[in-house]
Structure 1
């Protein structure tokens, strides 16, 4: 194995196109809070969710966004003063963020228990990514750094015949920020180049705020959940704008 470069990848929006599953899980969870919502999510709302997906940092937010969509809010309206809308909804339903995280995870667990094949089908990997990760694993150390709960990452990777040791999946369970995970990896692999591949520009900019991570090479996954405005904002920064075909072609490194 060539350990010269450590590859760290976000999961949703880089490895897995989970937008539909996240929308449906958000809807299922929402029906337990608001009894006026029907059992099945309308297809139009599921499709609209993809437009709003770039604003989400952690999955539980899907519960609130789905509710806003059900109430008829447009994509533009949801983006406007988003943080304030989230806080107002939390106040109205008298639930904490931890409560919603628990509900979101349990809703996924129930879906998996009742119909694992359907849940997996709603979490497809981006075309070519499974093969890329298998090649990566033959020659490099690679890790997942995500806000997703780790058991769900393990389920999806396993279903796609991708081997990754549990200690290399850094999810919500660790209660560490992405910069904190990267600092830990730098300490674990001193002197090694670290690549961080992420589809959310705020996450990449968050890494840039830590001088000790200045030598981490940042890649912006344009195939994920981001907007044209994000692409423009990233241009000129010390961030590599990366298309999926370039990532798959192994141009990030000698893989």
Structure 2
């Protein structure tokens, strides 16, 4: 049981608040077809299940069309799981691709989809059970809430508005801020004149948590790995003996802070 409640709660979006797996694949597929237009006859839908299984390797949005490319090229799921960084960089280098341009293509696909079929786009996002209610409770409390994500902030705001949550733009730090999450946490501390031991941060990817853990000025931030998000049993097992990164279940997340690990 936690003996101190947070004055600031930082939440990742994808894999913590929202399960956008269906949208990830469909948007990535559309972006793929624009980038590799010579392959539009390929039945990419056959790759969906592998894409879902491999989603935990993705850290930044531009990697999603690259993941589809890796599957098209016949790279095995095992190689992707064990060596994703090298696999992605090799594809980028060999095919002379630019991650920034891939990002722009993916964002444009989403913007066009939202403009032409907002209902269809929103329908592909599922919010984890109880999470919206929990966020609503936090917003009514003394704890300040911040969304810290690599997703475009405008997409996050749109999705939350559909759920009746109208967060201010100053509460959402998306991909557009162009800085790693530990730097965003540092910024949140600064603007609130807060100390790290009053801040809790929930993320479903281990790497961002490790980077916070390694920042000397962020020692004291309580770190939680969401076990319902885009991670693997091996990743969850790896923090069993970690003193500062705690595994958090969805049931615990939706309860009072005093019931969190």
Q: TM-score, normalised by structure 1?
A: 0.93
2: CA distance between counterparts of 1:160 and 1:72? 39
Deviation at 1:81, TM superposition (A): 2.4
Deviation at 1:217, TM superposition (A): 0.5
What is the count of residue pairs matched by the alignment? 251
Counterpart pick for 2:250 among 244, 249, 254: 244
Q: Map 1:198-217; keep pairs closer than 5 Å.
A: 198-217=203-222
Counterpart pick for 1:65 among 61, 64, 67: 67
CA RMSD of aligned residues (A): 1.8
Contact 2:139–2:145 (Cα < 8 Å) also in 1: yes
Please state whether the residue corresponding to 2:35 is helix, strand or coil. Answer: coil
The answer to which of 55-64 and 88-97 deviates more is 88-97
The question of 1:233 aligning with 2:235 is answered no
Structure 2: where are the runs of 5+ without partners?
none
Deviation at 1:127, TM superposition (A): 1.2
2: CA distance between counterparts of 1:187 and 1:252? 26
Structure 1: where are the runs of 5+ without partners?
none
Q: Map 1:12-27; keep pairs closer than 5 Å.
A: 12-27=14-29
- What's the CA shift string for 1:99-137, capped at 9, x where partnerless? 111111111111111211111111111111111111111
Contact 2:239–2:245 (Cα < 8 Å) also in 1: yes
2: CA distance between counterparts of 1:75 and 1:20? 19
Contact 1:201–1:230 (Cα < 8 Å) also in 2: yes
- What's the CA shift string for 1:17-52, capped at 9, x where partnerless? 01111111111100112222338741x422221111
Deviation at 1:75, TM superposition (A): 1.8
Would the alpha carbon gap of residues 37 and 92 (structure 1) be closer, same or farther in structure 2, given more than 3 Å must change? farther
Q: TM-score, normalised by structure 2?
A: 0.90
The question of 1:172 aligning with 2:172 is answered no
2: CA distance between counterparts of 1:245 and 1:173? 31
Contact 2:6–2:200 (Cα < 8 Å) also in 1: no
- What's the CA shift string for 1:70-109, capped at 9, x where partnerless? 3333321222322222122112332211111111111111
2: CA distance between counterparts of 1:120 and 1:84? 33
